[in-house]
């Protein structure tokens, strides 16, 4: 049965970008405001899930040709690797530091090394959520 979902598809095109932007905003603001890697990752994955719901799996896969399992694995690698990296820099395992940079557009910006760890968390969440949902839906 073919459902006429023109409205849904049109709305999704815009909404997905809003959700993605929101997800990234949440991810970046996590240090001082509500947000962070986990929640950012969840929002990002809900955007992907929405895409998969509205279009079929094949179409989305042509547009976003990532293997989400690999994304999840890369996330774990980042999260664990950032911990080991901090040992190599002479601090404790998973120790973090931050520094204020003067960036061209953003002005004075504080960049903390925890962002690598948070990125790992976010990527794992995105990868795992999409992998689970995809594998269940592909099993039809």
Residue with Cβ nearer other proteins (55 or 69):
69
Exposed, middle or buried by CB within 10 Å (0-12, 13-18, 19+), for 112?
A: middle
- Pick one of 8, 20, 24, 76: the residue that binds other proteins (CB under 8 A): 76
How many other C-beta atoms lie within 10 A of the C-beta of residue 71?
18
CB of 104 to other proteins, least distance (A): 23
Check if the beta carbon of residue 43 is closer than 8 Å to that of residue 19. yes
CA–CA gap between residue 101 and residue 105 (Å, rounded): 11
87 counts as binding other proteins under rule CB under 8 A: yes
**Which residues of the chain form contacts with other proteins (CB under 8 A)?**
26, 30-39, 42-43, 45-46, 49, 53, 69, 72-73, 75-76, 79-80, 83, 87, 92-94, 96-98, 110, 112, 114, 117-118, 120-121, 124-125, 127-129, 131-133, 135-140
């Amino acid at each position: 049965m073919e459902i006429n979902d023109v409205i849904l598809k049109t709305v999704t095109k815009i909404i997905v970008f809003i959700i993605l932007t929101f997800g990234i905003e949440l991810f970046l603001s996590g240090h001082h405001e509500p947000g962070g890697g986990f929640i950012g990752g969840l929002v990002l994955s809900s955007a992907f899930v929405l895409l998969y719901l509205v279009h079929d799996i094949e179409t989305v896969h042509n547009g976003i040709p990532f293997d989400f399992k690999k994304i999840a694995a890369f996330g774990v690698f980042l999260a664990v690797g950032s911990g080991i990296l901090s040992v190599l820099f002479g601090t404790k395992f998973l120790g973090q530091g931050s520094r204020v940079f003067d960036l061209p557009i953003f002005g004075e910006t504080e960049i903390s090394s925890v962002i690598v760890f948070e990125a790992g968390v976010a990527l794992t969440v995105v990868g795992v959520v999409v992998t689970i949902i995809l594998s269940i839906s592909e099993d039809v």
